[in-house]
A = this chain, B = another copy of it.
Amino acid sequence: MIDGHGDDGWKYGATIRADFSSNVVYGGLDAGLREQLRGVIDAVTHYPEAGALSLQTAAAAAYGVSVDSALVTNGATEAIYLIAQAFRERRATIVGPTFAEYGDACALQGIEVRQAGWEELRIASGLELRSALRVESPVARPGGLVFICNPNNPTGQALGAEELLGVVDAWPGTVFAVDESYIEFSLAADSLIAAGRPNVLVLRSLTKSCRIPGLRVGFVTGPPELVARVAACKMPWSVNRLAIEAGLYIFRHREEFAVPVESLLAATARWRRELAEVTGWRVWATDTHYFLMETPSAFSAAKLKAHLVTRYGLLIRDAVNFKGLGPQHFRLACQAPEQNELLTEALRECSRAGI
């Protein structure tokens, strides 16, 4: 899907004063990383390593897996497309409402897809999700491919290891692609990397936690046999030279890129309460720094988005194109307090004026 994602301020002539539309954590580029990238600019006169081996090695060490259990990709998005390609003979289940690219990648491969857990996720319960998957057992039958985003985008809901492993271990013949692109933003989501299950591929990303969506760095970890199958679908040089340089720098300075998750979640909780009070609109629960809201039936999220960007220079994520959500849904990611305040005030005016 080319159109319909967040961080699409470029579509509007308006100057963007604050951007709530992508889940990238707020704050500018890390100063050390900026200097590093400026210093190695001339490296672009050489090809990247065709398979980004140096970064694969660094990532394997950072994630605590063997080198042949890791693969570097052009963002987590390439990982999604490669996994769909590698397992295209299977039928897929997508646990949603969730990121559209799982479905798009499957469609491109002609994979039959079943969306699961919509209703369950709507009422925001990990346990209900689990029971739903168990009850609807044919969905995750042996030979299947299941995409789970944990914590989930756009709902922000997180799953713990026990719940996840309950499902994963129940279907050993099914490959589970667990997208942990947002795991640095939650205390409730458990990573499955260390669990080392033979049927689990874990997707990771430096995009959101290290604020480098423009560079495109993602990873797959999992058992070597599954990773090799995914790698076999990969074209050379998909990960550019500066992405590799950035990744190497980040893994050498991991502590400096740690997300301040407790304070971020506390700020998110405060802001959510404030938004609910100020607007009277529905604000969804979340386990992360991003969350869903719903406009009143009088106007759509798309209309709200257009209004906010043109009148206030504030960018939100219209969430209508997440399958299972409707025209009222939009997603916000918590920003710095002064930016949040801008949106709070704008939404106060919108809710009073009926937009």
Asked if A237 is at the interface (CB within 8 A of a chain B CB), the reply is yes
Bound-state CA distance A101–B333 (Å) is: 41
Q: Does B45 contact A213, Cβ atoms closer than 8 Å?
A: yes
Contacts of A2 in B (CB 8 A): 50-51, 231, 234, 236
Q: Does A41 contact B34, Cβ atoms closer than 8 Å?
A: yes
Contacts of A37 in B (CB 8 A): 41, 44
Bound-state CA distance A21–B108 (Å) is: 36
Asked if A42 is at the interface (CB within 8 A of a chain B CB), the reply is yes
**One of A3-11, A259-267, A320-328 at the interface:** A3-11
Of all chain B residues, the one with the shortest Cβ separation from A238 is: B74
Interface string of A5-36 (1 = CB under 8 A from B): 11111100000000100101000110000100
Bound-state CA distance A24–B232 (Å) is: 27
Bound-state CA distance A173–B169 (Å) is: 50
Please classify how large the interface on chain A is, using the bins under 10, 10 to 19, 20 to 34, 35 or more. 35 or more
A117: min CB distance to chain B, Å: 24
Q: Does B44 contact A238, Cβ atoms closer than 8 Å?
A: no
Interface string of A206-233 (1 = CB under 8 A from B): 0000011111100000000000000111
Find A214's partner among B3, B43, B75, B246 (CB 8 Å cutoff). B43
Taking beta carbons and an 8 Å cutoff, which residues of A are in contact with B? 1-3, 5-10, 19, 22, 24, 28-29, 34, 37-38, 41-51, 53-54, 74-75, 77-78, 80-81, 85, 101, 104-105, 108, 211-216, 231-238, 240-243, 246
Tell me which of A6, A48, A51, A214 has the highest count of chain B C-beta atoms within 10 A of its own C-beta: A214
Q: Does B1 contact A29, Cβ atoms closer than 8 Å?
A: no
A41: min CB distance to chain B, Å: 5
Of all chain B residues, the one with the shortest Cβ separation from A216 is: B240
Bound-state CA distance A5–B235 (Å) is: 12
A313: min CB distance to chain B, Å: 15
Q: Does A41 contact B38, Cβ atoms closer than 8 Å?
A: yes
Find A78's partner among B47, B235, B246 (CB 8 Å cutoff). B235
Bound-state CA distance A54–B7 (Å) is: 15
Contacts of A232 in B (CB 8 A): 108
Q: Does A22 contact B47, Cβ atoms closer than 8 Å?
A: yes
Q: Does B7 contact A47, Cβ atoms closer than 8 Å?
A: yes
Contacts of A213 in B (CB 8 A): 44-48, 237, 241
Q: Which 4 A-B pairs have the closest CB atoms?
A: A214-B241, A44-B214, A2-B51, A7-B47
Find A48's partner among B24, B214, B242 (CB 8 Å cutoff). B214
